[in-house]
Structure formats: structure tokens, C-alpha cells
């Protein structure tokens, strides 16, 4: 990036500038390790296991998880291409479609969702420390709940301790995160096989759940209801990685070649996610034999192990949660917050802001019910992020034919400034893509306040991400059709 832009613009800082050749150190195995590292996480395990609880057979649950991740891989690769080709993060790529000022809207949307996730994963990590201390001391710890917070003092201290562990990586930057992911990924795969061996030996097999038919078959508890359970589950699973599908350029900008990001992501996402689902189902199935009931929560399961096994299991889960949280939920919002005010907020300062928001949002409140987790949180934000993905893909591939004028992305008076920095076609397409999902979201989030929402809107909401990405892509494509040549024409130099 030309240095003259650095002093004259509100759109540039060193963290947002295109990556240099020296910074492009990520090979395909780094991307594969990144995804293995992110896939092997407690929320993904719990979500996979919850499909069985919802009535699916083991095979239906694993297929649903694999299919969702194969679907979300497509926008991941499509949007990731721009990061590798031009070395720019998501918040800068969004300027091509939303405008140099308008790009702050999708950046903020993505950042807020990631702060929520960062808080949730930090809570999981704190709970592991809490469980570990409880097991070591041989009983319940922490006493009564603190008024207003709903958790006890020891839970709060453990949450803050885990928050502090992650803060070290924020201070030490992106390369520290890459090293953590690369070194911990093989360890996680090994632990999965160890866990499988442990349950097989303890339960004398893989347990009864694997043989259980789906509850949706004729004569089952939920006969004939498979599709009404499958679509919301698929949408929730897609929503699980919908954040990364947007900000994947934040990682692919460090790729050495396009082949590295394409191969690494294809190897690293759908198959490991399907295998994790299989692991979750098998281990949960074995817990029926071992403990007389299905235990979906891996932290709860680890706490029931004996001797050194519980210590090893919980330490591995702790490392796992740190690596997932930093890669999936810190890098993106750190860049996004930086893009809101580049002169004042660096990548590191954006990380500090993300961590601070995660503290005040009280993530344990979001997780109080599974219904709230899947139908309000996961599907709700996928309704916001799907339309943004649709707009970015149409703009990059169909309007611009993958050709961007990188220098102009950092100019307030350039070809991506549109009208006062806003491309109203992108804003309108975003609103049109989100609108059909709003009634269903209100009904899911606040059923008592919005009981009269029609079945049609509820049905649309179960497909939130798919509806959003399709409608916004179509709307944006139509509105930008006549403007494609104009958008591609280089702006006159001032």
C-alpha cells in the first residue's frame, strides 16, 4: 500500500493494509490445522449430540452435520479467494460492495456476533477450570449465587481467569495464534481416538444409541416430523460457521497461494466436522451404558472420569477452547473494530475491545436454554450474516469479475465511495434479505410478546441463512446490473 495514503485517509492503518509477500506464510496444512483446531470444540460437540436428543438417529445426525459444513464451505472458499488474491481483510473487501463508509455496517454486524461467541466460549473455558478445581477438591465449590449475576463467586473467578489466559494471545498477535493452532491440532485428533478407546473399553462397546432408530420413523415418538426438525438443525449448523464464512479473508490474506487456502479449507472443514459429530454421538451413546443416562456435555463427562484421566481431559479441553476462541471469534472482530476507526483502533486495540464486550455481555445468560441457543442465537444471527455473504459473493464474482482496484479501497474519494461513502444498493439488498426473517425471529426470541406470527413466517425463519443469502444476492445483482461497467471503470485521479 502506498504510504501517502496512510496520512491522508480514515480508511488505512498497517493492520488493514494488504499483506506483503513476507507476511504470506500460511500453507495448506496451516489452514487444515486451523479448521481441525476450530472444529474440535465444545459447542460443536454439544450441537452434534443435541441432534440425537432432538430425535435423529446417529446416522441422520452425522449426515446433517457433514452436509451443513459442505454447504458453508462454498461461500467460505468463494469469499476467501479475495483475501488471497489481494491480501485484504473482510472489513476492507466489504468496501467494494457497501462503499468505503457503508462497509462499517457489515463489519459491525460481524463483530457483534463474534463478541457474543467470544463470550460464550470464554464461559465454557471458565466452567472447565471450575469443574477441574471441584474434582481436585472433591466437591462443590463457590457457595451461593451473586445477586444480579446468577453465578457464584468461584464461577466468576474461573471465567475471569480463562479470560486472562486468552488475553495473553491478544497481546502477542496473529502469529502466536497460528502457532497455537498448528501445534494443538494433531493433539486434538489424538485425544479423540484416546476418548473413543476409553469409552469402548469401559462400556464394552459403543453403546445402545447407535442401534436406536430415529424417533421420526413410523411408530416413533415424533413420527413424520423429520423435515420440520431437519431444516432448523441444518440452518443452525450452517449458522455455526456463518461468521467465519464472512471474515475468512482475515486468514486467507496470509496464504502463500490460492491452492493453499482452497486445499487447506476443503481438507480441514467438512470431514473433521462430520467425524466430530460421529465422535459426539458414539461417546454420548456409551454414557448411557456407563451412567444410565445420555451425557451431552463433554465437561460434565470429563468430571465423571477418575484419577489422572479427568485432569488430562480437562486440560486438553482448556487448550482446545483457547485455540478455537482466538481463531474463530477474536481475529475477525479485531479487524472489524479497527476498520470502524483505523486511525484510532489498531488490530490489537480491536482485540481488547472484543474481550471487554465479552466480559459485560454475561454469556451464561445466553446459554440458559437450548431453545435460546439454537433457535434464537444461532439461527437469529445467521439471518443477519447470510445476506451479507450473498452481497459479497455477487459483487466480487458477477459485478467485478474478481477484479478490484486495491488502492481505491483505501480512498475516501475513490470509485468505491459511491454516494457519500455508501452504496445504497448493498444496504437495500441487505434489508430486503433480512426482512422476511424478522417476524420468525421475534416469535422465537420473545414468544409471549409475539404469539400471533403466521406459520409461513415461522417456516421462512427455519431456513433463515438460505433465505437471506438467496434474496440479498438476487436483489443486489438486479440493482447493480446496469452499474457493473461503471463500477469497474478506474476512477479519475484527483
What span, in angstroms and rounded, lies between the C-alpha atoms of 44 and 17? 33
Q: Cα dist. 164→127, 363, 484 in Å?
A: 14, 16, 48
- Non-local CB neighbours of 206 within 8 Å, separated by 6+ positions: 199, 200, 282, 285, 286
What span, in angstroms and rounded, lies between the C-alpha atoms of 120 and 366? 8
pTM of the model: 0.84
Q: Which three cell numbers stand for residue 380?
A: 437469529
- Non-local CB neighbours of 147 within 8 Å, separated by 6+ positions: none
Q: Which three cell numbers stand for residue 107?
A: 463489519
Tally the C-alpha atoms within 13 A of residue 209's C-alpha that lie toward its C-beta: 33
Instruction: Classify 308 as helix, strand or coil.
Output: helix
Nearest to 287 by CA among 214, 202, 193: 202
What span, in angstroms and rounded, lies between the C-alpha atoms of 123 and 137? 21
Nearest to 22 by CA among 253, 248, 249: 253
Which DSSP string corresponds to 45-99? HHHHHHHHHTT--HHHHHHHHHHHHHHHHHHHHHHHHHHHHH---HHHHHHHHH-
Rg (the chain; Cα; Å): 23
Question: What is the separation of C-alpha 229 from the centre of its chain, rounded to a whole number of angstroms?
Answer: 22
Which DSSP string corresponds to 193-211? HHHHHHHHHHHTSS-GGGT
pLDDT of residue 6: 55
CA angle centred on 341, ends 322 and 261, rounded to 5°: 50
Q: Over its length of 494 residues, how does the chain's per-residue pLDDT go in tens digits?
A: 444 555 546 788 888 899 999 999 999 988 988 888 777 777 777 777 778 777 888 888 888 888 988 888 999 999 999 999 999 999 899 999 999 999 999 988 888 888 888 888 898 889 888 888 887 787 778 778 888 888 888 999 999 999 998 888 788 766 776 677 677 777 777 777 777 787 788 777 776 657 777 778 777 788 888 888 888 888 878 877 877 888 899 999 999 999 999 999 999 888 888 888 888 888 877 777 788 777 777 777 777 776 676 677 777 778 878 888 887 788 888 888 988 888 888 888 999 999 999 888 888 877 765 445 555 666 778 888 899 999 999 999 999 999 999 999 998 888 898 888 999 999 999 999 999 999 988 888 788 888 888 889 988 988 888 999 999 999 999 999 867 545 444 444 33
What span, in angstroms and rounded, lies between the C-alpha atoms of 395 and 166? 36
pLDDT of residue 253: 94
Amino acid at each position: 500500500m502506498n504510504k501517502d495514503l496512510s496520512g491522508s485517509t480514515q480508511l488505512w492503518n498497517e493492520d488493514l493494509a494488504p499483506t506483503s509477500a513476507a507476511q504470506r506464510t500460511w500453507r495448506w496444512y496451516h489452514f487444515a490445522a486451523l479448521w481441525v483446531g476450530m472444529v474440535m470444540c465444545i459447542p460443536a460437540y454439544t450441537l452434534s449430540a443435541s441432534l440425537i436428543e432432538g430425535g435423529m438417529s446417529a446416522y441422520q445426525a452425522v449426515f446433517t452435520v457433514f452436509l451443513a459444513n459442505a454447504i458453508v464451505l462454498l461461500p467460505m472458499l468463494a469469499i476467501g479467494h479475495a483475501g488471497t488474491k489481494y491480501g485484504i481483510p473482510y472489513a476492507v473487501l466489504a468496501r467494494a460492495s457497501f462503499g468505503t463508509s457503508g462497509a462499517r455496517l457489515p463489519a459491525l454486524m460481524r463483530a457483534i456476533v463474534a463478541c457474543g461467541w467470544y463470550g460464550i466460549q470464554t464461559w465454557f473455558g471458565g466452567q472447565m477450570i471450575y469443574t477441574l478445581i471441584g474434582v481436585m477438591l472433591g466437591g462443590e465449590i463457590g457457595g451461593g449465587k451473586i445477586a444480579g449475576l446468577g453465578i457464584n463467586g468461584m464461577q466468576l473467578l474461573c471465567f475471569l481467569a480463562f479470560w486472562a489466559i486468552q488475553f495473553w494471545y491478544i497481546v502477542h498477535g496473529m502469529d502466536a495464534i497460528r502457532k497455537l493452532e498448528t501445534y494443538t491440532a494433531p493433539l486434538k485428533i489424538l485425544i479423540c481416538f484416546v476418548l473413543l478407546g476409553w469409552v469402548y473399553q469401559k462400556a464394552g462397546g459403543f453403546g445402545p444409541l447407535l442401534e436406536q432408530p430415529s424417533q421420526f420413523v413410523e411408530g416413533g415418538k415424533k413420527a413424520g416430523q423429520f423435515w420440520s426438525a431437519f431444516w432448523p438443525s441444518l440452518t443452525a449448523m450452517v449458522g455455526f460457521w456463518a461468521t467465519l464464512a464472512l471474515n475468512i479473508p482475515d486468514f486467507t490474506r496470509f496464504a502463500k497461494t490460492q491452492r493453499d487456502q482452497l486445499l487447506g479449507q476443503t481438507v480441514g472443514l467438512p470431514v473433521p466436522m462430520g467425524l466430530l459429530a460421529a465422535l459426539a454421538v458414539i461417546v454420548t451413546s456409551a454414557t448411557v451404558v456407563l451412567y444410565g443416562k445420555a451425557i451431552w456435555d463433554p465437561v460434565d463427562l470429563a468430571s465423571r472420569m477418575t484419577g489422572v484421566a479427568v485432569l488430562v481431559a480437562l486440560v486438553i479441553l482448556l487448550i482446545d477452547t483457547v485455540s478455537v476462541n482466538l481463531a474463530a471469534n477474536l481475529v475477525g472482530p479485531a479487524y472489524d473494530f479497527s476498520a470502524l476507526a483505523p486511525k484510532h483502533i489498531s488490530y490489537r486495540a480491536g482485540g481488547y475491545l472484543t474481550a471487554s464486550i465479552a466480559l459485560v455481555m454475561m454469556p451464561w445468560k445466553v446459554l440458559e436454554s437450548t431453545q435460546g441457543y439454537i433457535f434464537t442465537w444461532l439461527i437469529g444471527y445467521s439471518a443477519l450474516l447470510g445476506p451479507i455473504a450473498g452481497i459479497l459473493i455477487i459483487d466480487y464474482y458477477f459485478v467485478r469479475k474478481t477484479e478490484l482496484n486495491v488502492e481505491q479501497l483505501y480512498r475516501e474519494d475513490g470509485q468505491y465511495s459511491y454516494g457519500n461513502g455508501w452504496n445504497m444498493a448493498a444496504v437495500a439488498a441487505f434489508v430486503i434479505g433480512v426482512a422476511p426473517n424478522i417476524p420468525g425471529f421475534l416469535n422465537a426470541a420473545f414468544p409471549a410478546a409475539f404469539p400471533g406470527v403466521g406459520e409461513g413466517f415461522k417456516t421462512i425463519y427455519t431456513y433463515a441463512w438460505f433465505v437471506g443469502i438467496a434474496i440479498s444476492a438476487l436483489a443486489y445483482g438486479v440493482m447493480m446490473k446496469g452499474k457493473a461497467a461503471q463500477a469497474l471503470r478506474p476512477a479519475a485521479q484527483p
